[in-house]
């Protein structure tokens, strides 16, 4: 069974048979199916030998929650600026700095999620943060949020207008019509496409069109998803409270949810979109039958291969996958990439892009004076 295109074959079915886009900026918004999108970018980049703008020393965040700076990227130097194909690790967006590390022709995109579900997810995932650690439930927090929320705390962004924060804006800014319009305009000017996680398959079809990629490039299995046992239903009152508390996020989401569907009608049309989504889901089901034991995700304790176990965080129970046994080598490689959690995949690609140099030969023992100087220098780096 043919599972994947090889690096040497042209991508079929790309709109207008244009060259696939390989310079990409993805703003990885928290708790918005962004780990699944990141897996798609990792696979494409690996298949096509592209370079990634990794955080210094590896890791999975570009000095988040600070605004992004080019010097956060491994291998970047102002004296000899280097450009990378794909920038997709967690960052707080700041376009003038982003532009220093990617091509001027790079495609910019991000993904949004309904702020109601996003806040419920954040509460479970970031339960240990300052705003959430002293409450038992989201209801308790929202009953008197300012009792628990302190905007000056370095982790306060997880508790309010998280999307607004990730896009680089002030999550505690006033919600005036003028300010909202300026914010939406700034996002529209910077980004070529805003995806919607509630319509993930439709989003992947739009992404495929914009990047001139083929179907296999955007097929995926959901990653970093929670077990439903840790999800709680929300009352109508709670929904309204969450919208009010995250009003800036709500304005971003409703605006770009509308433009998302306008774009589908303009670029693809509803009928063709239905056909494309059907083909994508069929391909995903085919890959699930080929790759997965039991066809779906399993709880972390049931994941047999520890290298495929996702990081567990807060009170959320993050699911993963078991691969079928006895797959041939090529199929196993394709399947493993589809289910490898973000941190493990990122680490593998980092080591590939920045292979460790062999240890240098031992230097002569430094003098006492040299030792003192070295200790002073090291002290400035801590």
pLDDT band at 375 (very low <50, low <70, confident <90, very high): very low
Are residues 21 and 109 in contact, defined by beta-carbon separation less than 8 angstroms? no
Per the CB < 8 A criterion, the answer to whether 149 and 140 are in contact is no
What does the pLDDT read at residue 357?
67
**Termini Cα distance of the chain:** 53
Model confidence at 360, pLDDT cuts 50, 70, 90, reads low
pLDDT digits (tens, 9 = 90+) for 107-137: 999 999 999 999 999 998 899 999 999 999 9
User: Which position has the higher pLDDT, 224 or 66?
Assistant: 66
Supply the pLDDT for residue 304: 80
Q: What is the pLDDT of residue 308?
A: 80
- Taking the C-alpha atoms of residue 109 and residue 27, their distance in angstroms, rounded to an integer, is 6
Nearest Cα residue to 273 out of 213, 206, 330, 327: 206
Determine the Cα–Cα distance for residues 12 and 5; give it in Å rounded to an integer: 9
Counting residues of the chain whose pLDDT is more than 70, the rounded percentage is 85
pLDDT on residue 202: 98
Are 353 and 52 contacting, i.e. CB atoms less than 8 angstroms apart? yes
pLDDT exceeds cutoff 50 at 222: yes
| 155-203: pLDDT as tens digits | 999 999 999 999 999 999 999 999 999 999 999 999 999 999 999 999 9
Residues 288, 236: Cα–Cα separation, whole Å: 36
Is residue 302's pLDDT more than 90? no
Per-residue burial over 72-81, b if 16 or more Cβ lie within 10 Å, else e, is bbbebeeeee
pLDDT band at 31; cut points 50, 70, 90: confident
Task: Show the CA angle centred on residue 169, arms to residues 176 and 207, nearest 5°.
Answer: 105
| pLDDT value, residue 17 | 56
∠ CA 211-213-215, nearest 5°, is 135
Q: Which pLDDT score, from 0 to 100, does residue 8 have?
A: 34
**pLDDT on residue 361:** 57
Q: How far apart are CA 337 and CA 181, in angstroms?
A: 41
Q: Determine phi and psi for 147, rounding to 5 degrees.
A: -70, -30
- Per-residue pLDDT band at 37 (split at 50, 70, 90): very high
Classify burial at 279, counting beta carbons within 10 Å of its beta carbon; exposed 0-12, middle 13-18, buried 19 or more: middle
């Amino acid at each position: 069974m043919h599972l994947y295109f090889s690096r040497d074959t042209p991508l079929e079915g790309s709109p207008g048979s244009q060259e696939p886009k390989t310079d990409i900026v993805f703003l990885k918004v928290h708790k918005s199916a962004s780990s699944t999108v990141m897996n798609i970018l990792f696979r494409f980049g690996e298949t096509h030998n592209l370079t990634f703008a990794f955080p210094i020393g590896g890791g999975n965040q570009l000095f988040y929650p600070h605004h992004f700076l080019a010097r956060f990227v491994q291998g970047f130097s102002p004296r000899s600026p280097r450009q990378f194909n794909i920038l997709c690790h967690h960052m707080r967006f700041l376009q003038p700095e982003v532009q220093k590390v990617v091509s001027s022709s790079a495609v910019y995109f991000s993904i949004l999620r309904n702020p109601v579900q996003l806040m419920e997810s954040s509460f479970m995932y970031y339960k240990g943060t300052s705003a959430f650690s002293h409450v038992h439930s989201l209801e308790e927090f929202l009953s008197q949020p300012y009792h628990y929320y302190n905007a000056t705390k370095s982790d306060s962004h997880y508790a309010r207008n998280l999307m607004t924060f990730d896009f680089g804006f002030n999550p505690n800014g006033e919600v005036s019509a003028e300010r909202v319009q300026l914010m939406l305009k700034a996002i529209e000017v910077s980004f070529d496409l805003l995806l919607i996680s509630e319509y993930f398959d439709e989003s992947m079809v739009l992404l495929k069109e914009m990047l001139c990629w083929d179907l296999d490039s955007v097929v995926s299995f959901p990653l970093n998803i929670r077990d439903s046992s840790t999800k709680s239903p929300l009352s109508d009152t709670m929904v309204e409270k969450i919208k009010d508390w995250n009003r800036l996020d709500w304005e971003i989401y409703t605006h770009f949810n509308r433009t998302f569907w306008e774009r589908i009608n303009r670029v693809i049309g509803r009928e063709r979109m239905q056909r494309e989504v059907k083909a994508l889901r069929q391909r995903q089901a085919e890959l699930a039958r080929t790759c997965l034991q039991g066809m779906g995700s399993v709880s972390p304790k049931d994941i047999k291969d520890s290298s495929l176990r996702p990081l567990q965080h807060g009170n959320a129970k993050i699911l993963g996958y078991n691969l079928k046994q006895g797959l041939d080598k090529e199929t196993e490689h394709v399947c493993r990439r589809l289910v490898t959690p973000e941190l493990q995949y990122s680490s593998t690609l980092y080591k590939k892009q920045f292979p460790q140099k062999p240890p240098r030969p031992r230097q002569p023992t430094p003098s006492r004076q040299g030792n003192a100087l070295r200790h002073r220098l090291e002290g400035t780096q801590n």
